[in-house]
Structures are given as C-alpha cells and as structure tokens.
Chains A and B, each alone.
Chain A
C-alpha cells in the first residue's frame, strides 16, 4: 500500500488562538461591540465620558489650595495657566473644613467630638463584628450616655444617674419576678420612669454639689456640620431599629389594642413627610410648651427622626417576617418555646437576615435625610455651605463645597452599604 502522502505523520504544534478570540480583544468584542445596539451604546458612553472628563479634568487639575478669597483664587489660576482659564478653588475647603465637620463647636474643644467618634467606632465593634469579645457589649450599651456627656458636657453625674435607671429596672425585675411574673415586668417599666421623673434630678444635683466633676457645658447652637448629621443620623439609626422591631411584632400581634396602636403609629407617621415632623418639632412645640421651657432642639429632632424612621423600619421588618415559612413558627411552638423565646431564637434571626438590604437602605436614607434639618435653621453641612458662600471672600463659589460635602456623605453611605453586603455574605446559609 502506497503511503498516502496526504496523511500527516506528525502532530502539528498547537497554534495560538486567533487574536480576536483571546484576552482583551475578545473581552472587548463580546462585551462592548457584540451587536449594532451595543456598539452604538459603547460609542455613546465613551463620548459621554470624554465630555465629562474633558470638562471637569482640566478644571480639577488647575485647582488652588492656598488662597484667602475667591478673587485671589481666580487670579492665581489666571497667572499660572493663562488668561481666561478657570480652575477649582479648593482653598475654601482648606480654610473652612473644620466648620463643615464641626459647625461652630469651639475650636479648642474639637477633641471632644473626635474622641466621641473614636469611642463610637469602639462601641460599634461588638455590634457589627462577632469576633470582637462580647464584654465590649457593655461599653456599647453605655456609649450613648458617654457620647452625650462628651458632646454636650456638663456634670458627669447626669448621664451616670440616668444610666442608674436601668439598674433600678433590673433590680426591681429581679426582686418582683419570683413573686409574680407580670408584676415584675410592669414594675420594671414603671419604676425607672418614676425614678427618672422624680429622683434622678435631685440625686444628680446632690452628688454634683458634693463632688463637682464635669466638662464645660455646650449648647445645641454650637453643633453643626457633619457632627450634627452624625449625631442625628446615628441616634436615629440606633433607636429606630429596636423600636421598629417592636412595632413590626406589635402589628402581627393578636392583641387588639396592641395591634391597633402599632398600625395607627406606623400608618400615621409613614403618611406624613419628614419635613412636616421637623416643623412640628421646631415651631409647633414652642407654642404648646410654657415660655422659658428649655427643650433641646437637637433632642426634639432626634425624637422625630427616630419616630419617622421606626415606622418605615417596622414595615421593612414585617416584610422579613412575612417571608418566613409558617413551619418555622410551628417548629418553635412544637419545641415548647414561649413567644419571646421563639422570636429571639428562631423568628427574628431569620427575619432580620432577610430584611438586611431593606434595613440598611433605610439607614442610608435616614442619614441623608438629616440634611433636611436645614429647613428648621439647624446648621447641617448644606446649610453651612450656603453660610460659607455668603461670606464676601467666598461668595460665588459653588461646586467645590458641594463636592466636599458629597464626598463625605458618600464615605458614610458607601461604608454602610459595604457592611451590609459583608453581613449578607457572612449570614448566607442557604444553597442558592
């Protein structure tokens, strides 16, 4: 048999794939130019990016960081880059960044909000991350009182005597529960309220007159900027979650009065714009309160923001509760758990896990809503921006200040959003 010349007797070395089928070219072809529509969109998007970068880029690159007026900024840009050129004037940030962060808080006391922020991160540790030792939870619990004292100052005994109220509740609960369970619970609610109403004030004054110890007292007018946003936002977030959980449970309750009260609360406050509640807090209350009553405006705003946010939170959590299969409740019942045990051990962990994106979405919304307080003349970052712009030195400046404020808000909101994704990943137990 003649050997067929066309039969190869040796293996060809493998060839490289065509250049359009590997690496970047392939990615570009498949993702950017896979059809007429996508090609068009890619080109349009590239053009849009070019226009934006082409406009903002040079403006940003010609930025000025050291000047004392906008006119000086403009002169420096023109002197450096030629007549008619414009540039960003970040000198205003350089001069006023402390005001945007702290408002009119006295300059020599900046360490107090700064320390509070650091302590807040410490307090958040055990709440947010399970690897932090559990003992730190005690600090997290006491943190609101510590923060209040550090920020507003005044006598150190005030937050301590207020915290004692929780101790009173615990002792009463422990003493009375063995006698009668319901009595214990009711007394544990009533006793601290009576304590705060009648004993707390005189007790604080008595101790303070014996051992005067405290920080320089500050008032809410001194608060502003991101300090104010953070105080309102963090308090609102911290208080609205537990209240929201209780409201969501109340709405599902079989007890008629509890259910009606919760529905009325939720629907009532969800049906009203936040700005209305803020106006009530700032203006209407003044007409009802006796003249000379000092009811701190920031406290009023925190209460309103918390109420508003709790109503939303309740509905988000109700969504999580509704998503739980009936079998979970029945399983809890069949194990012989009582209502609170079932909620704590079986229902809530799953319902909250399901609602994480909604809850964090609410938090982010709430944090950004704190800028609404500028309408009731509190010095939120945006209000401070317009105050700064009203100075003759900086009148006419616009984008630079808003960019700075926007950047800081982005930092806060983006970290919240990333944490929620981390938490979702960590708690992911199903096999989707």
Chain B
C-alpha cells in the first residue's frame, strides 16, 4: 500500500481540493466513527488511561456527541492535537469537532472560520504563589519573576495586566505545563500563571500542596468551547444541542442512572418529555434519532455528573463549580429551552 498510496497521491495532488464532500453528519455515519480533536494530555480534561483509552472532561463531550449520532459513546477516535495544529486539523477536515480547551476569541471565530458552539468550561487566568512569599493579592506582585507558557493567550494577558496596574515583572518563558511545574516548584520563579483550572490541577500534584496558594484575582476571560468548522450548520447544531442537552438534563434532574426510567414513558414534565423524545420529534429536526439525547446522557451522565467525575471536588484536581454552575445556582451555564 505504501507505494500505491504514494503514487496515487502524487497523481491526485494535481486535483484541486475544491468543495468538501457530503455533510459532516453523513461522513461520520458512513465512517461509523467520530473524529474528535482533543488534548494529548491535560489532567482531568483529556488523558489516555493504562489501556490507552482517552478519559476526561473534554473527551466526555466527544463521547456524548458520538452517542447521540452513532449510538455508541466508544465510537470516537480521539485525535490528540497540539495547540499549534488544532485549528488547522479542524479546518483541513482531519477531525469533525474540537473539544480541546480552546478559548473562544473574536479572531478565532471570524478570521479562522470556526464556529464555537458551546462553552463547556468557563476559565480565567490566575496566579499561584508560595505561601512563604506572604502575598495575598496579585496587586502586590510588582517586580516578581513569573513562570509563563509561551505562545498562549496567558502571555499577552499577563503583559496587559501588569501594564494596566503600573507594575513590572520578569518573565521566565517555558514550553509547557510540565516544565512550568518543575521550574516553579524548584524556585526558578515566584509566581506561576496560567488558567485557574490548570493551576488547581498543578497544585494538586505537589507533595506540599498546602504551601501554595492561588491568588483571588482572575485577570482574563477564557471561555473554553467546543469548536466546529464554518459552513456546516447542521453539524454545528448537533454539537451545540448535544451539549445543551447535557446542561438541560442537569437542570431538570435527569441523570445517567434515572434516564432510562424517565425515557420509558412520558412523564409529567413536558420539557423532559421533549428532551428525551417521548413527546414531539426534536431529534428528527436535526437528522438524529428520537432518543438521541437519552444516548448522550447515558454516555457519561449530565453536565454536572461529568464535571464531578472528571474535575470536580471529589477528584484530585478538585475544581469547584464556580462560574460553571447552572444559571439557577448563580453560574453561567445556561441552555436555551428545548421546544
């Protein structure tokens, strides 16, 4: 195959790529597998377990979509993407959707021709310092050495923040989180700054976690969202409403354990009935089966269950819901109605 493929490709390379094939939904169904771009390794969000199966909060989103479309949460090929290659891979059609802690920004949405269809985690940039430094606010960090990952939005946010507050700092540029952890814990810098979820995960790994504190300031908005390509609105709807189904399920008290029972027969709450397909034809409106939401919820649970299982307070990462609580509980997670 090596050679035939090579020559076949050389011949075919002359042909201009041109219009994409059928819709993404048809492609996924024909393939029998969802290609989902995610992180090669980010604690709690995406990481392969001892059997090589990817687990995590971001991967759970992929599994929910696969369950809704294909009926099987395991029919996902998780494609690990680096931060440099993620958007290109999506544009080039290598993956059908991206669930890889990608911040929704103006230029990515417009210039890169992407659609951000649902914010699965509201994050923000924070600071971590050693307790012994005696600092209780980011405003006291004038002149500090700061460990920071290069090529990220956090680098720019940091510069903006210090400039706005008339402070100076000395950056210690680092390649990735692993290196940053090592440099910070060996004392190469006073402060480590990245997304607050990343700081919490990093802090949890220290043997002396109680010696480190997260400062209260959050200096940026980092809405981490699910992403699809421009130009296939049906597919964008599927990803968006699968995510909304997980949110609505939590809001209405539908969990992975009681969903079967609730879906068996129409209940008293009409919105639950519409969501679970016991009333109306919501699934067919976007080309899916009647019980698409049931399968998505059964894949891992509703939004709250997924959060608790992967990054919540009971895990070593121990993130609290905060901004990611439902709107009914003072957070920002809000699904439009299923009607």
Contacts and interface: CB of A to CB of B under 8 A. Distances in A.
Interface string B179-214: 001100000000000000000010011110000000
A131 interface: no
Nearest to B13: A288
A286 B317 contact: no
Nearest to B317: A392
Contact of A392 (B176, B178, B315): B315
B77 interface: yes
A104 B48 contact: yes
23 contacts: A74-B207, A103-B52, A104-B48, A104-B52, A162-B4, A193-B7, A197-B11, A283-B92, A286-B93, A289-B9, A289-B12, A295-B9, A296-B2, A377-B79, A383-B41, A386-B176, A387-B48, A388-B47, A388-B48, A390-B43, A391-B48, A396-B204, A398-B178
A389 B13 contact: no
Interface residues of A, number: 53
B80 interface: yes
Contact of A283 (B9, B85, B182): B85
A376 interface: yes
B20 interface: yes
A165 B77 CA distance: 35
B17 interface: yes
Interface residues of B, number: 55
B81 interface: yes
Contacts of A388: 41, 47-48
Describe A's contact surface by its main secondary structure. Answer: helix
B39 interface: yes
B94 interface: yes
B181 A396 contact: yes
B210 to A, nearest CB: 14
B82 A377 contact: yes
A390 B6 contact: no
A291 interface: yes
Nearest to A387: B41
A376 B82 contact: yes
Contacts of A96: 50
A413 B191 CA distance: 39
Contacts of B39: 390
Taking each of B13, B20, B44, B48, which has the highest tally of chain A beta carbons within 10 Å of its own beta carbon? B48
A377 B85 contact: yes
B17 A287 contact: yes
Interface in B1-42: 1-9, 11-13, 15-18, 20-21, 39-42
B66 to A, nearest CB: 16
Given A286-B93, A290-B12, A398-B181, 12 more contacts: A197-B4, A221-B79, A283-B92, A290-B15, A383-B41, A389-B41, A390-B46, A391-B43, A391-B49, A392-B47, A392-B315, A396-B207
A422 interface: no
Given A148-B2, A291-B93, A383-B40, A395 B201 contact: yes
Taking each of B1, B17, B201, B206, which has the highest tally of chain A beta carbons within 10 Å of its own beta carbon? B1
A355 interface: no
A340 to B, nearest CB: 26
A293 B94 CA distance: 11
A221 B80 CA distance: 10
B84 interface: yes
A152 B81 CA distance: 23
Nearest to B206: A396
Given A74-B207, A104-B48, A386-B176, A395 B5 contact: no
Contacts of A283: 85, 88-89, 92
B108 to A, nearest CB: 17
B50 A99 contact: yes
B283 interface: no
Interface string B219-241: 00000000000000000000000
B316 interface: yes
A162 B2 contact: yes
A325 interface: no
Contacts of A398: 178, 181-182
B316 A291 contact: no
B178 A293 contact: no
Nearest to B88: A283
Contacts of A196: 3-4, 7
Interface in A377-411: 377, 379, 383, 386-392, 395-396, 398
A158 B1 CA distance: 6
B54 to A, nearest CB: 9
B178 A99 contact: no
Interface string A284-315: 00111111111110010001000000000000
A390 B41 contact: yes
A299 B85 contact: no
Contacts of A113: none
A274 to B, nearest CB: 15
A200 B8 CA distance: 12
Given A193-B7, A291-B17, A390 B42 contact: yes
B205 A396 contact: yes
A252 interface: no
Contact of A221 (B4, B77, B176): B77
A40 interface: no
Given A200-B3, A395-B204, A293 B182 contact: no
A291 B94 CA distance: 9
Contact of B21 (A99, A282, A292): A292
A288 B93 CA distance: 12
Nearest to A303: B6
A70 interface: yes
A71 to B, nearest CB: 8
B80 A379 contact: yes
A386 B20 CA distance: 35
Nearest to A283: B88
A377 B80 contact: yes
Nearest to B201: A395
A201 B92 contact: no
B1 A154 contact: yes
Nearest to A296: B5
A395 B82 contact: no
Contact of A291 (B11, B20, B46, B50): B20
Contact of A282 (B85, B93, B205): B85
B178 A389 contact: yes
Interface string B53-83: 0000000000000000000000001011110
A290 B81 contact: no
A95 interface: yes
A375 B84 contact: yes
A66 interface: no
A387 B2 contact: no
B80 A287 contact: no
Contacts of B1: 152, 154, 158, 296
